[in-house]
Amino acid sequence: MDLRYSPEDQAFRLEVRTFIDENLPEDIRNRSRHGYGHRKEDIVSWQRILNKKGWAAYSWPTEYGGPGWSPTQRMIFQEEIMMGNAPEVSGFNITMIGPVLMQFATQAQKDYFLPRAANLDDWWCQGFSEPGAGSDLASLKTAAVRDGDDYVVNGQKIWTSTAQHADWCFVLVRTDPHAKKKQEGISFILVDMRTPGITVRPIISIDGAHHLNEVFFDNVRVPVANRIYEENRGWDVAKFLLGNERTGIARLGKSKERLAYAKELAREVQQHGKPLIEDPAFRRRAAQIEVDLKALELTQLRVVSAKKKEAGKPDPFSSILKVKGTELLQETSELVMDIGGPLAMPGWAKELAAMSNEPPYGPDWAPAMAGPYLMMRAASIYGGTNEIQKNILTKAVLGL
């Protein structure tokens, strides 16, 4: 047993870090650091920089144009991306639809879609959840009815992140409403977002921003050729998709970066005439987060290294990573916001400045402190709520 990274892994980390340092445009980095998030054009241009280097499809094997990295290298890569405040590589493209295409698609589909997904020529989104099918995903109702060489799709998806940017959507539809089990009547199809009959309606989330959407399908014609795998076997595809790369969901690097940022701010912000970082309550909170980060990091390494031995099967332990990882994302975003105190509360500072030509209210970082905290409440809801993760542990590990 040896918990240290090998010299090769350490050299790899340095290589990734150096590449990010040298190639990530400064404005993109700063927007991320200050909590403003990444704009579409930032994400696209960065993913293309990575793709040129051969790193965008970081989890893919070499035969599909990926770098062929080990699970440990992939983990290091993701962590460095997050710690370096670079846009994260599109999960929809690289870790969700990519592996599904490799596993189930025709050669023609692979040849067409995979290189475009890697280069973000196509922005993918995920059409899974519905108003009546959240955690209970298999209850979905969006219907696809065969008509010649097409399916005619009618229904509604919801919580569709970044649908407003998307070129394509992978969608779960009901193709057999009479199947004995609800899981058995579902198919997995690829839908061009420009197809007539699709309406994307924004959902503004509690951070005041537009990440989420409703997507309506009104007699949308999708070629049967765009179905992945067999008709009514889409649940198998969905399970495969959700079982992939679950370790990434902990987003450990992001929490590490947020803690580092919090300390940086706390050196700047004063209280009682002293930097906040000297406040024992702040220090203790940061220390507790450090403890929890370390435990998560090592647990993640255990899951990743166990994965090497038994590939292709989702490890129920990755549910631990989801729960603990999202708790840390929430705690770190809360810590950052709390540093701002009352300055973190105004949400209108930027708009006001833009309207009046006055400089923004407060320091650069102030207006964007509460947004990530508010949005991070979603972390324990998306990707299978943390309660669902506990159900998984209960069944798969504890046998209750």
Partner 1 sequence: MDFELSEDQRLLKDSISRLLSDNYSFAARRGYMQEANGWSRKLWDQYAELGLLGLPIEEKYGGFGGGPVDVMLVMEEFGKVLALEPFLASIVLGTTAVKLAGSEAQKSMILPAVAAGQIKLAFAHGEQQARHDITDVLTTAKKEGNAWLLNGAKSVVLHGDCADKLIVSARTAGERHDAGGLSLFLVDGTAAGLVRRGYALRDGSRAAELAFTNVRGEPLGAIDGGLPVIERVIEAGIAAMAAEVIGCMETTSAMTLDYLKTRQQFGKAIGQNQVMQHKAADMLMSMEQGRSMCMLAAMMVDEEDREERTHNISLAKVGVGQAGRAVTQAAVQMHGGIGMTEEYAVGHYFRRVMTFEHLWGDCAWHLAALAAKIS
Among 290, 345, 351, 354, binds partner 1 (CB under 8 A): 290
**Min CB(335)–partner 1 separation in Å:** 12
Burial of 78 (0-12, 13-18, 19+ CB in 10 A): buried
- Give the DSSP letter of residue 360: P
Return the structure tokens found at 108. 């023609």
Among 102, 198, 277, 353, binds partner 1 (CB under 8 A): 277
C-alpha separations of 71 from 161, 202, 252, 292 in Å: 26, 36, 15, 22
Would you count residue 263 as binding partner 1 (CB under 8 A)? yes
**Can you give the length of the chain in residues?**
400
Q: How many residues bind partner 1 (CB under 8 A)?
A: 43
Stretch that binds partner 1, among 29-37, 79-87, 216-224, 318-326 (CB under 8 A): 318-326
- Amino acid 325 reads G
From 79, 88, 130, 245, the catalytic residue: 245
Among 221, 302, 350, 377, binds partner 1 (CB under 8 A): 302
Nearer to partner 1, 198 or 277 (CB): 277
Among 11, 206, 298, 345, binds partner 1 (CB under 8 A): 298
Would you count residue 149 as binding partner 1 (CB under 8 A)? no
245 is catalytic: yes
Would you count residue 108 as binding partner 1 (CB under 8 A)? no
Would you count residue 255 as binding partner 1 (CB under 8 A)? no
Distance CA 62, CA 96 (A): 17
Contact 153, 144 (CB under 8 A): yes
Among 286, 343, 353, 381, binds partner 1 (CB under 8 A): 286
- Amino acid 218 reads D
CA angle 141/232/215 to nearest 5° reads: 35
**Min CB(136)–partner 1 separation in Å:** 14
Distance CA 400, CA 388 (A): 14
Nearer to partner 1, 205 or 391 (CB): 391
Nearer to partner 1, 10 or 18 (CB): 10
Please enumerate in sequence order all residues whose Cβ is within 8 A of that of 106, keeping only pairs 6 or more positions apart, or say none. Answer: none
Beta bridge partners of 223: 150
Among 14, 204, 295, 352, binds partner 1 (CB under 8 A): 295
Nearer to partner 1, 287 or 352 (CB): 287
- Give the DSSP letter of residue 233: B
Would you count residue 291 as binding partner 1 (CB under 8 A)? yes
Residues 370-399 that bind partner 1 (CB under 8 A): 387, 389-391, 393-394, 397-399
In 3D, which of 175, 200, 205 has the Cα closest to residue 187?
175
Contact 317, 353 (CB under 8 A): no
Would you count residue 306 as binding partner 1 (CB under 8 A)? yes
Distance CA 285, CA 280 (A): 9
Residues 182-201 that bind partner 1 (CB under 8 A): none
Among 118, 323, 369, 370, binds partner 1 (CB under 8 A): 323
Return the structure tokens found at 122. 């196509």
List phi, psi (to 5°) of 135: -60, -35
**Min CB(284)–partner 1 separation in Å:** 5
Would you count residue 6 as binding partner 1 (CB under 8 A)? yes
List phi, psi (to 5°) of 35: 85, 10
First to last CA, the chain: 32
Stretch that binds partner 1, among 42-50, 95-103, 238-246, 275-283 (CB under 8 A): 275-283
**Min CB(298)–partner 1 separation in Å:** 4
Would you count residue 260 as binding partner 1 (CB under 8 A)? no
Beta bridge partners of 151: 146, 222
Q: Calculate the CA dihedral of residues 242, 36, 123, 255 and round it to 10 degrees.
A: -30
Would you count residue 299 as binding partner 1 (CB under 8 A)? yes
Binding site for partner 1 (CB under 8 A): 1-6, 9, 72, 263, 277, 280, 282-284, 286-288, 290-292, 294-296, 298-299, 301-302, 305-306, 317, 320, 323-324, 387, 389-391, 393-394, 397-400
So which residues are the catalytic ones?
245
